[in-house]
Amino acid sequence: MSGRRAFLRLSAGLSLGASGFLQSACGSASRSPVGVDGLDPCRVPTGPLDQPVPVPKVNGAINVHPLRCLGCAPTDSIIDHALVALQLAAAYELGFDGIRITAPLGDRYSLLAAIPYVRTARALGIDAVVLLADFSGLTLARALHDPNRRRAILRLYASLFARTQQPLAPGLGGLGPGGTGRIAFQILNEPVGFVGLPPEVYVQEFLTPCFAELRSLDPDIIVVAAAETGNLAGPPRLRAMLEAGVERACDRIAYHVYSREIIRQLPADVRRVVWVTESGSAGTARHLPWVREVFPEILARVTDATRIFYFDLFDLDRDGYRVIDIRLETTGYRAVVESGALHEYWAARVLESAGGRPLMSFASLVPDVGAYFPTEADVRSLDGVPF
């Protein structure tokens, strides 16, 4: 590993604005001064072989949608506990160290549904990247562009998602306080395609002021720049973002990769750690080869990359990107593995890392996901912000 890459990987885990020495003990209740994205040595289980351990976080990160119901209308306020728990259980038990989830300001109930995903994941030692973007429309983009509303919106998101969580067990291996997961905010998604923002406008009029506001609100929030589209149109836009100063306006630069052709065109040497916040290949048969062959190719090219988020755990399209399907049966919801080869590969890596030790199940750690659901105070905070 080059000296530059080693430095970037080390600085990736610094408590923002701090520097120091490697933490001497795993699972300490104090804030650890240094950690490394996806490389915490505490994630390798130790101790007696008959002692249950948290699932080792060995499979990178994954995109999770804020699923709250199946077949309901956007105006339906239901957030089904069983669906939230099902997706979180899959993310935890497959050994992911991070999730990325959209929290759309323009979709009230999806925004509220994202809250238990983020809070529970962090309590399990899983980093949470909250994507500040709408599924459609410009509600959030307009609010973030308006200097009279921007701080109130970012304060709302910080209050809903960035509060400290208590670790659910020792030895979780997270890089936040006490082994919990960290919080990151990604400012918009593929700005040219989704909201029509040229790269320089995005960097100078959206990302830069949001970065400054979030620094003053909570310096522990990791600020991630938007990625651009993961096809051939993406790399020129990324280079334009670099020319506009994106390296000075975030903690992480983000790429999306959906085409193998673009890998050699990606900016390979930047002055920030890179997270690939979406990558995958449509078609179930192509999932495992993509993870085993293309992910290493990305990391070899982008030497500053420390993490790739697979896209995605579940969506509604069969034989697309999803790893699992979710079906409603007479006994309740059931996860049905669709991408069998990839699922088996991830599960085998978890078992190998555990070294024969029994694993703590999601249900044993989170008997009631409702404990992480929005509170009345959360709802009042949302209602109190004009947008």
Tell me: the pLDDT tens digits for 124-176?
A: 999 999 999 999 999 999 999 999 999 999 999 999 999 999 999 999 999 99
Which is more confidently placed, 54 or 33? 54
Residue whose entry in the numeric block shows the structure tokens 């905010």: 185
CA distance 203 to 1: 31
Categorize the per-residue pLDDT at 96 as very low, low, confident or very high, splitting at 50, 70 and 90.
very high
**pLDDT at 46 (0 to 100):** 74
The architecture that CATH gives domain 56-383 is Alpha-Beta Barrel (3.20)
Single-letter amino acid, residue 140:
L
**How far separated are the first and last CA of the chain, in Å rounded?**
47
pLDDT(9) > 70: no
Confidence (pLDDT) at 298 = 97
Domain range list for the chain: 56-383
The pLDDT value given to residue 43:
57
> Residues 61-73: what's their mean pLDDT?
95
Local confidence band at 36 (pLDDT 50, 70, 90 cut-offs): low
Bond prior to 383 in cis (omega within 30° of 0): no
How large is the average pLDDT for residues 31-55?
Answer: 65
pLDDT at 278 over 60: yes
Interval 5-33 mean pLDDT: 38
pLDDT in tens, 337-352: 999 999 999 999 999 9
Share of the chain above pLDDT 70, in %: 89
- How many CB atoms within 10 Å of residue 69? 14
How crowded is the C-beta side of 383, counted as CA atoms within 13 Å? 7
Q: What is the pLDDT of residue 249?
A: 98
Mean pLDDT of 210-225: 98
d(CA 61, CA 31): 22
Q: Where are the alpha helices (DSSP H) in the chain?
A: 3-11, 81-93, 108-123, 139-145, 150-161, 191-195, 199-201, 208-217, 234-243, 287-289, 295-301, 340-354, 362-365, 376-383
How far apart are alpha carbons 347 and 107 in whole angstroms? 34
Return the percent helix, strand and coil in the chain, to nearest 5.
40, 15, 45
> Taking phi first (over 0 means left), then psi (-120 to 50 degrees means alpha), and beta for anything else, what does residue 257 get?
beta
